[in-house]
Structure 1
Amino acid sequence: MGIGRVANGTLRLNESIVVYRRDGSVKPVRISKIFGFVGDAQVPMDAAYAGDIIAVAGMEDVTVGVTFTDPVNPQPLPLIEIDPPTISMHFIPNDSPFAGQDGKFVTSRHLDERLNKETLADVALHVEPLTDGVGFRVSGRGELHLSILIEKMRRESYEFQVTRPHVIMREENGKTIEPYESLTIDVDEQYQGVVIEKLGKLKGVLSDMQVTNGMSRMVFKIPTRGLLGYRSEFMTDTRGMGVMNYVFAEWGPHAGEIQNRQNGVMIVMENCTSVAYALFNLQDRATLFIKPGEDLYKGQIIGENCRPADLVVNPAKGKKLTNMRASGSDEAVILTPPLDMSLEDCISYINDDELVEVTPRIIRLRKQKDAKIRA
């Protein structure tokens, strides 16, 4: 089933036509059904005319950008230009100690079928198997593009892991080039200073700025790497009042190093259930991501350390009993609410040696290797 608009002429039921594909190939087909739209309902039609938006049946593997045309006098429409992928991530089956507890589709075969199905409707998405045969390299137009795909799969009961996004680099004339975006920012004038400062650190160059009625519109040229994880930071800086949009601009010279996360993380030392007393003693040294009573496993990330190094901790360490008092008789334990991270926050937060575990019920952060191997 394909959906599109009739550009000119008339399309009739059971008519023989040809399909011009994006790769230049031509395939003859016969239109078996034509449907028009009335509100949300599909209505059978015998013919469709110029300007009609219709759904047609009778062909396989219809993708975005193909043209249905007359076989005698073919007039294919110009192809829609699709911006090239700029970032990639690895989608791999979940191999954590809690694998298979929440998801319905958990194997590499399930991932393969679902990702290839997505490419039929999303021409900006590229999927290729990894060399080890157990995962896939998925390339798209940005972290939001891939985050939407991950969230869709999660809601469909898929369970898997993803790596940190990486910008796709190229070699040209012996030099490394990378993608740049044209970023347009609309904010209240009082926030333009912090936005310019942050984007400057991310190698963004201000090319235009206009102020009208207290609102500032700024246009930046910025490496795609600089935008990874910036959206949530931007919303915080502008109190949720800013608007940002970006489109692919060009390939340009490598802009140099852009600093990622500066602090280390807190890693669980063994499978356990978190307790309030242990988290109370840890919260002075970290920003925690979990609450008491959560099941944890060895290698799971539960917080951000206040120092650059990673720290292996025991979040299940309870209060010791003594002959003087019971374990719960001292002062009440007051915990700071944990940091609530969205899927996009998690993806932009992790480093190269870390993974985001995605299940229908929960999102976890973890190290790729356990503590003994890392040591």
Structure 2
Amino acid sequence: MPMKTRDDVRNVAIVAHVDHGKTTLVDKMLWQTGAFSDRQTVETTGERVMDSGDLEREKGITILAKNTAISYDGPAADGHPVTINIIDTPGHADFGGEVERGLSMVDGVVLLVDASEGPLPQTRFVLRKALAAKMPVILCINKVDRPDSRIEEVEEETYELFMDLLDDADGHADQLDFPVVYASARAGIASLTRPGNGEMPEGSDLEPLFATILKTIPAPSYDDEAPLQAHVTNLDSSNFLGRLALLRVRNGVIRKGQQAMWCRHDGTQQRVKITELLMTEGLERQSAEEAGPGDIIAVAGIPEITIGETLADPENPIALPLITVDEPAISMTIGTNTSPLVGKVRGSKVTARMVKDRLDRELIGNVSLRVLATERPDAWEVQGRGELALAILVEQMRREGYELTVGKPQVVTREVDGKLQEPVERLTIDTPEEYLGAITQILASRKGRMEQMTNHGTGWIRMEFKVPSRGLIGFRTEFLTETRGTGIANHVFDGYEPWFGQIITRTSGSLVSDRSGAVTSFAMVNLQERGTLFVDPTTEVYEGMIIGENSRSDDMDVNITKEKKLSNVRASSADNFEKIFPPRKLSLEQSLEFCREDECVEVTPESVRIRKLILDQNERGRALSRARR
């Protein structure tokens, strides 16, 4: 039976490396197709409207894949309006599960590449996924108006990346014949003519991009005689409707109020009723009566449905393949807060049952996460793609009122042919030439292997390394310190290799409080010569809490609560004041990078503290003696 197509629909994902302009481009596409009312302006809606989460706006990255729909009726539509469903995907490889889900909803991709930075590790990651899915690709070189843009070189580098990945991803040779669009997403202008470096594209809008999408991205195809099949690709919730399942309709028609067969992960089937059917218009979901092949919809009425399952015809149910994602590479232990300060300040969710329920809820919508039991009933091993993905989860839980103990990130190893293997990352570094020696030395100590070095002739160099994932735990802070904040580092998972051996990622020790109490200025003045302090005066501390970084390699137990002895004799130096250096404040990510194997991070809604796993000083000493025997 020949397949039919729906020419009034296009489904496209916008994929790119972090900060290459995906979300800004989607913003401009929405504005230019009239998705906002006359009363809405950039000032009232804000820029990057697709980044709706607080953490997304704070960090300037996309964490969750989101979809929007625009109605295009410009010149390329020939008088027949076309609905373009756009999936805005994360650029960070730690959120690769979101990218894979986004690609399962579409028929082609727009690959965005910065006109100055060129293809970076996450560009390689998202492009490999698109080529493996045999999807047509539109290359959009963005930010062509940057003063340091190098458009022709970036175009050539991207073509070489296509060549490099095509065999690896088992793609089609015709995927190399991709159209190129030159754009300035911030200005909302695109062109098919290559501008000069640093120049704005010719034209006044994004019309060339819309025309290229309609020409290159195939319309959804379907079998006119096949029964209903709709794939669950994401989940959402509504205060009024409960859980919403986001689906791509593959075949057939789905109607509001109808009966459908719910095909679950475990192979069982259950009849359910579609109580509500919603379709996206701009950024809003509107109630609809029915949806056909190629439509991306949300349905309500199935409280326990999860990602990868199928809604099918009740009389002839045929399940679609489950969505598979790459295995996790990094893990850390998340458990209840066991410090003496638990529940003292604002933390309302402190029990093991509450923490486990929250982790189970996260599993429902996060396909790249794993939660495993440990020997302790109040702690679980959580596995994910990378440090950032796990740190985002902990930060979200902290903001929801949970108190947690979080262990140092570890790598997820596996055994192949009797040999231990560990995950390896492909690391790309852009830095001024003067820091070449320092960076090479840092990565050599972390078992990094340089694969390529390019000098752009502008005083900056680009280096590519292969580094075990373990070697990148704690790397970012040291890297930014060595390059005075000027270096740019990006990395992406690049497979497994045999165990690299011992890696020492932190040469300094910790300053550990030997008692409970409040930090005093007098004690800080005496201790600040020993290292860098993390706490302010009057901060409450407890025995085993880490209050600073020792300048030497070993740990030191110190009294940070010591007070100055008072007497009735006036000292001749009474008018001399000691200066207290400002303490170093660590974020959650920096705290996770800093802690060693015998340390963990205490996370509460109000603060983030680093502590020893064994708080008691004597017990800690005995445990260390046993480990050395």
**Alignment TM-score, normalising by the size of structure 1:** 0.90
Secondary structure of 2:581's counterpart equals coil
Q: What is the letter of the counterpart of residue 357 of structure 1? A: E
The reply to whether residue 345 of structure 1 matches residue 590 of structure 2 is: yes
Q: Which runs of 5+ in 2 are unaligned?
A: 1-243, 622-629
Q: Which residue of 2 aligns with 1:57?
A: 300
Which of the two has higher C-alpha Rg?
2
Q: Which residue of 2 aligns with 1:282?
A: 527
> Going by fraction, where is strand more abundant, 1 or 2?
1
Q: Which residue of 2 aligns with 1:95?
A: 338
Q: Which residue of 2 aligns with 1:148?
A: 392
Cα distance per residue 1:82-135 (max 9 Å; x no partner): 121112111121121111112110000010100000010111111122223121
Secondary structure of 1:6's counterpart equals strand
1:82 counterpart (320, 325, 328):
325
Distance in 2 separating the partners of 1:8 and 1:184: 43
The reply to whether residue 108 of structure 1 matches residue 338 of structure 2 is: no
Q: What is the letter of the counterpart of residue 535 of structure 2? A: I
- Decide whether the 8 Å contact of 2:508 with 2:549 is kept in 1: yes
What is the Cα deviation at residue 329 of structure 1? 2.1
2:502 counterpart (244, 252, 257):
257
What is the Cα deviation at residue 70 of structure 1? 3.9
Matches within 5 A, 1:65-76: 65-70=308-313
183-192 or 27-36, which deviates more = 183-192
1:199 counterpart (443, 452, 458):
443
Distance in 1 separating the partners of 2:431 and 2:312: 46
340-349 or 301-310, which deviates more = 301-310
Distance in 1 separating the partners of 2:264 and 2:444: 43
1:119 counterpart (342, 355, 363):
363
320-329 or 260-269, which deviates more = 320-329
- Decide whether the 8 Å contact of 1:161 with 1:356 is kept in 2: yes
**Alignment TM-score, normalising by the size of structure 2:** 0.56
Which has the higher relative contact order, 1 or 2, with Cα contacts under 8 A spaced 6 or more apart? 1
- Decide whether the 8 Å contact of 1:35 with 1:45 is kept in 2: yes
Aligned residues: 375
What is the Cα deviation at residue 175 of structure 1? 1.6
Q: What is the letter of the counterpart of residue 305 of structure 1? A: N
Secondary structure of 1:318's counterpart equals coil
Secondary structure of 2:298's counterpart equals strand
Secondary structure of 2:398's counterpart equals helix
2:402 counterpart (137, 142, 158):
158
Distance in 1 separating the partners of 2:552 and 2:471: 24
Q: What is the letter of the counterpart of residue 428 of structure 2? A: T
The reply to whether residue 33 of structure 1 matches residue 279 of structure 2 is: no
1:373 counterpart (619, 622, 629):
619
- Decide whether the 8 Å contact of 1:270 with 1:299 is kept in 2: yes
> Going by fraction, where is helix more abundant, 1 or 2?
2
What is the Cα deviation at residue 303 of structure 1? 0.8
Distance in 1 separating the partners of 2:581 and 2:472: 30
Distance in 2 separating the partners of 1:251 and 1:125: 19
Distance in 2 separating the partners of 1:328 and 1:149: 52
Cα–Cα, structure 1 residues 213 and 16, in superposed 2: closer, same or farther, change >3 Å? Answer: farther
Secondary structure of 2:592's counterpart equals helix
151-160 or 185-194, which deviates more = 185-194
Secondary structure of 2:477's counterpart equals helix
- Decide whether the 8 Å contact of 1:209 with 1:217 is kept in 2: yes
Secondary structure of 1:374's counterpart equals helix
Cα distance per residue 1:321-357 (max 9 Å; x no partner): 2443169924112011111111111111111221211
What is the Cα deviation at residue 297 of structure 1? 1.1
- Decide whether the 8 Å contact of 2:510 with 2:550 is kept in 1: yes
What is the Cα deviation at residue 172 of structure 1? 2.5
Cα distance per residue 1:278-334 (max 9 Å; x no partner): 100000011101111111111111011122222111112122224431699241120
Cα distance per residue 1:126-171 (max 9 Å; x no partner): 1122223121111111111110000000000000111111111222
Q: Which residue of 2 aligns with 1:273?
A: 518
92-101 or 126-135, which deviates more = 126-135
